[in-house]
Chain A
Amino acid sequence: MLSKKIILTGSFGVGKTSLFERFINNKFEDKYLTTIGVKVGKKLVNTDKGDLSMMIWDIAGEVAQNKVPTSYFLGTSGIIYVFDVTRPSTYGNISQDIEYLKSVNKLTTIKIVGNKKDLVSEDDLLALREKITLPVDLFTSAKTGENVEKLFHDFAVEMVG
């Protein structure tokens, strides 16, 4: 079984820890507690192509990605860039952030994820897709669990394959 490192990053309060908790422990807390430093968790993901041991790093949110210690991004196989669909400030710098992440780790796969989809309508999400300059891979809701499993499972399939 392969082991891979995946990072959850993005601005503060976008729901990275909620996605982490939903995926690893299948639970959701309404209370907001800011992440200090990093939290590391593990989950085994079964795919048709094989199993994967995912080591997931939930990094403290920063308004710009170049504020995150560079060493956290080293050795990662995948980066999940999370933004909050209800807060434009969390996707305002998306192009610069993604460029920066690509420059730090050229080999990694980056997925762009809009979280808190339970708070907006499908029409709002469509409008958001138009508005954001880069393609959004998935809209998720850590609260309801919608698309959370799919997000990590898709990643696992890409990595094992």
Chain B
Amino acid sequence: MNRPSSSPTPEEEAQLLQQLRQVLLSEDREALAALREILEDEAQLSEKISPIIRQHLAFLKENFQDEYGVIVEEIVTKKLSESQDEIVNMIFPKLNTIIKKFITAQFQMLKEGIDTQIKTVQNRFSPKNIFSRFFGPSDSDIVLSQLDSPEVHEIYLVQRESGLLLGSYAREKNTDQDVIAGMLTAIKSFAEDAFNRGKEDLEMIQYENYKIFLQNLPSYYFAVAMTGSISASEKESLSNKLITFAQDNVPFDTTVVNSTLTDQVSNALREDFDQFSIQH
């Protein structure tokens, strides 16, 4: 083997090292350049990475419960226990309304059913009243029917076209009753006009458990504000009571509305309805 007689100069040494580097690293450099090209080109990078992500997502989809279920459960449990008041405040109003509506509807159905039963029993045994005492509704039925019994809070007698108040009665003093009478008439007129019901009248306004029962007569109408459930027979009973009241206490001519008339009608309403409770 031939050996050089003298050591290489630094330039020669550098050149040799460069050549050596070229030989040893050329493959790695090419691979690095290709890799850089992939990294810098979004399309190429996406092509390479997307299958991996998709695969991982598919894996997560299949195994999320096993991999992260416990952690997520812990986070949710912790958050729920920390925010109990907020959650209750958020849910309660909605839940309360739904429960109230449900209970009212159930009572309504129950009472309608009881009414039908009573009528059936009464009709069946009416020729001999004595029998109805034995075969009439049971005590439990009667108690049930009284659980959510309707309670009258206010009564207004209102001139039909003008909406002027002819008389009123309220168990508790409330806002201006003249204005209420006017607004009720406006609502009534609007509803009757809007739905183009010709000679038909609005008979009930209801929001939540509060109802305004309207008994329409030719020149005036009664508006009875009440709570509780009212069955068909109770409605009939209330209607009869109002009509009887009108016959006995409301003057034939109510075209001129003055305080003498309203005082007279209001006093009569108080006398008739202060202790009144709706019966079957």
Within 8 A of A (CB), among B148-197: 159-165, 176, 178-179, 182-183, 186, 189-190, 192-194
Q: A2-B257, A40-B179, A57-B182 are in contact. Are A75 and B160 (CB under 8 A)?
A: yes
A53 near B178 with CB under 8 A, answer: yes
Q: How many residues of B contact A (CB 8 A)?
A: 23
Q: Does A144 contact B (CB under 8 A)?
A: no
B178 near A72 with CB under 8 A, answer: no
Q: Which residues of B contact A1 (CB under 8 A)?
A: 258-259
Q: Which residues of A contact B262 (CB under 8 A)?
A: 3
Complex CA–CA separation, A4 to B162 (angstroms)? 8
B193 near A55 with CB under 8 A, answer: no
Within 8 Å by CB of A74, from B162, B182, B258, B259, lies B162
B178 near A55 with CB under 8 A, answer: yes
Closest A residue to B186 by CB, please name it.
A38
CB proximity of A47 to chain B, nearest CB, Å: 15
B163 near A75 with CB under 8 A, answer: yes
A51-82 toward B: CB 8 Å interface, digit per residue (1/0)?
A: 00101010000000000011110111100000
Complex CA–CA separation, A2 to B183 (angstroms)? 19
Complex CA–CA separation, A4 to B259 (angstroms)? 12
Q: Which residues of A contact B164 (CB under 8 A)?
A: 3-5, 55, 75
A75 near B258 with CB under 8 A, answer: no
- A-side interface size class: 20 to 34
A74 near B257 with CB under 8 A, answer: no
Complex CA–CA separation, A61 to B159 (angstroms)? 25
Q: Does A129 contact B (CB under 8 A)?
A: no
Q: Does B256 contact A (CB under 8 A)?
A: yes
Q: Which residues of B contact A74 (CB under 8 A)?
A: 161-162, 189
Interface centre among A37, A74, A75 (most CB of B within 10 A): A75
Q: Which residues of A contact B190 (CB under 8 A)?
A: 37-38, 69, 71
Within 8 Å by CB of B193, from A3, A53, A70, lies A70
B189 near A72 with CB under 8 A, answer: yes
Interface centre among A37, A40, A70 (most CB of B within 10 A): A40
Complex CA–CA separation, A3 to B263 (angstroms)? 13
Q: A5-B164, A57-B182 are in contact. Are A71 and B189 (CB under 8 A)?
A: yes
A40 near B163 with CB under 8 A, answer: yes
Closest B residue to A105 by CB, please name it.
B161
Complex CA–CA separation, A70 to B193 (angstroms)? 8
Within 8 A of B (CB), among A1-46: 1-5, 37-38, 40-42
Q: Which residues of B contact A2 (CB under 8 A)?
A: 256-258
Closest B residue to A56 by CB, please name it.
B182
Complex CA–CA separation, A77 to B257 (angstroms)? 12
Complex CA–CA separation, A77 to B161 (angstroms)? 11
Q: A40-B183, A42-B178, A71-B193 are in contact. Are A76 and B258 (CB under 8 A)?
A: no
Q: 15 interchain pairs (CB within 8 A)?
A: A1-B259, A2-B258, A3-B164, A3-B165, A38-B183, A38-B186, A40-B183, A42-B176, A53-B259, A55-B162, A55-B163, A69-B193, A71-B193, A72-B186, A75-B162
List the 10 closest A-B pairs by CB distance, nearest first.
A75-B162, A75-B161, A40-B182, A71-B189, A74-B161, A69-B193, A38-B186, A5-B162, A3-B257, A1-B259
